[in-house]
Structures are given as C-alpha cells and as structure tokens.
Amino acid sequence: MASDDLWILGIHMTKFGKHTDLDVIDLASEAAMGALADGGVTMADMGVLAAGCLMQANAPIGQMLQKQIGQTGIPVYNVSNACATGATALRVAAMAVKAGEADFGLAVGVEKLAGAGLLAGGSRKDDAPTWTPKGRYGAVAPVDGRIGTEIMPGVFAQIGMEYGHRYGGTSFELFARISEKNHAHSTLNPLAAYQKRFTLEEIMGDLMIAYPNTRPMCSANTDGAAAVVVTSGAKLRTLSLEQQRRAVKVSASILTSDPWTESCQVLPDVNTLTRNAATAAYEASGVSPADLDLVELHDCFATAELVHYDNLMLCPDGGAVDFFESGAPFRDGRLPVNVSGGLQSKGHPIAATGIANIWEVATHLRGEAGDRQIEGAKVGLAHVIGLGSACGVHILEKAAV
C-alpha cells in the first residue's frame, strides 16, 4: 500500500579520512551494518537496496555489498549522480517505500578519495589548434580558457565573486571567515577528517587554489561511507516505542536538475536548481526557513556556503553577507549552519556526503550530537549539490513520540 509519510529508522556514517587498510566494500559494509543496528533491524528486513560510489560507477557496488552483509535477492539499484549520489540513493529507497513496494529500504554511499588531488571530472578533451567535432557531446568545444571554466574550484570561485558583484559586501576576508567558522565547528565532531581550528591569518595565508578560495577553504577528498534505513509511518507504528522515539521524519525529499533558463546552457549554474529544490521542499513539508533549527549545506568551497544561504532562502535575496555578519550561522547563532565542520573539515567522500549531511541533522534531532548538540533542535535541512547538475534537499523533523 502506498504511503504518504517516510521515516529514517537507522542511520550511520563512518569516520571520514584516510583508511588505507579498508576498501570501498569494507567502508560500505561498516556504514550499512551500523545503520541496520541503529534502526534495530537486519538485512533480512530490507526490501530494496540503493548504493552509490561515483569513482566506481561502473561496478555493481550494491551487489558487491550484499555479498558482505546479506545476499537476499532484493532489487538493487546502483546510482551515480555526481556529489548528489548519496542523496539520490536515498531518494530511490524512499520512492520504493512510499510506493508500497518495500517496508524498509537501505541506501548507502561510499567513496575512496583520500589523496586523489584535484578532481577535474573525466578525461581531457583534445585541445589541438584545430577542432574537429566528434559525436554529440564532442561537438561542444572545451570551455576552459574560452568562455569560463568547468573545473570545480574555478566554478565555485566564480559564483562567489559573481554574488559579490551583484549584491556587494563580499571580500577575501569574508569568505575566509566562513571557513574559519566551519573549522572551529569541526573541533567538536569526532567523525570529521580534520578537527583543527584555523586562525583567519592561517586560512588567508595558505595556498591559493582559485581566488578567493585558499586550500583550507576547499572541501577535502577523503575516504568514507554513510548509510540510512527508511520505512513508512504505517510500518513504524508496528515497531517498539524506542524505535519510534528515535525515528526521524522525512518531511520532504526533493531532487532537481537544471531547468531551462535564458542564461548560458553550457556553464554550470549551482543557484537555480538549489533554489528550486528548496522551494519544493518547503512547499512539500509545510516548513518555512524560519522554522529551521539547523542546516547542513554543501560547502564544497567557502564561496559556495555564502551563495547557498541565499539559495536556500535562509536570508532575503541578496542578504547572505548580512546573514553571516549577524552571527546566525555560527553554532551558537540563530540558525547554525554546518555544525559538523562542513565539507571543508568533515571531508567530502563524494557519494557518501549526501547521506552524511542527513546523518548530522538527524543526530541533532535525536539529541545525540554530544558536545556540538544544538539544544532543542526539532527541524533541520540537509542540502547537497553535484555539478552536471543535481541537487538534493531533505527536510527532517524530530519524532513526536
């Protein structure tokens, strides 16, 4: 029977960082078994599995994972959707549960990225003096150095500078202060890859990657995995009171891609699909930005965090600088953002990030975040974006039990 409501029953993430003695299946297994145990269920209860690993997108990660944690014959979906891969895996499991095809769904995201360096996004195009179109995609000339850039540090540096030109108030120091905030938050997160406070001078004086983002202002490529078990409200009501108490309601689960706009159709646009996803999430959940108690957003670069304050409607249009200067996004502020330390500190094992951001919000709503706990947190938003492009926004609410 189709279900209108969806609940997170169990969720888990590994420590992000460098795991030289573990492969992707080891990490995925740790996350999956952790989520099952957290929810008080087993692999035998699962009716669907969705798994993502962007760097091994051609491998049957889900089936390989089943061989480790329980090969039960259920449908397995292997997903790949840039940095939104984990959020997409969750959407797949959620849709199966909401359609009534499964009582429980398991979604997993995993990546081995420690030491990967700059991810440029696939093989280089031929950059010879003469250009010969080859196939549909090959009929588009390389972008870099011609009309802009497709390389991630450049893209996100550009959107930060564009925001400043449009609304004013930005500076190199302002973006560095956003990074300073997130690194300070990370000191309270034992699962973050880096738990080190940086001074503003250290951040601004470090290696420049793409102005205005220095190295500490960029997300860290790490190893890691995260997994989540979802179920319907009807099934949840048959479980123990403790399981019901710790369950977290998924009030909105939205995935968007780039819509048609009159602007350039070649260069990435991280703003429009995020704003569209946020708008749809608020409408679906009946929650407004004013109702949020915390936000985990995709701060792949310090510049990205600033523009997403605006895209997620945490502030009025053009008000991101004022929002930050008010102290709102700090852990002790009105609307804490990235209390986990964000991607700049927690790390960014691409396919795991979407679920890891949800794990952070869910942990606060359960009141289980320890020293970094946002007291009284009842509603939170998790956001992730992948160039290409895909954006996932989930709004979560504390159980009423």
Known catalytic residues? 83, 348
Q: Residue 133's CB: how many other CB atoms inside 10 A?
A: 10
Give helix 24-39 / helix 61-69 axis angle, nearest 10°.
60
Among the listed residues 158, 155, 391, the one whose alpha carbon sits nearest the alpha carbon of residue 276: 391
Amino acid at 242: E
User: Is 41 within 8 Å of 380 (Cβ atoms)?
Assistant: no
3-state SS, one letter per residue, for the chain: CCCCCEEEEEEEECCCECCCCCCHHHHHHHHHHHHHHHHCCCHHHCCEEEEECHHHCCCCHHHHHHHHHCCCCCCEEEECECECHHHHHHHHHHHHHHCCCCCEEEEEEEECCCCCCCCCCCCCCCCCCCCCCCHHHHCCCCCECCCECCCHHHHHHHHHHHHHHHHCCCCHHHHHHHHHHHHHHHCCCCCCCCCCCCCHHHHHHCCEEECCEEHHHECCCCEEEEEEEEEEHHHHCCCCHHHHHHCEEEEEEEEEECCCCCCCCCCCCCCHHHHHHHHHHHHHHCCCHHHCCEEECCCCEHHHHHHHHHHCCCCCCCCHHHHHHCCCCCCCCCCCECCCCHHHHHCCCHHHHHHHHHHHHHHHHCCCCHHHCCCCCCEEEEEEEECCCEEEEEEEEECCC
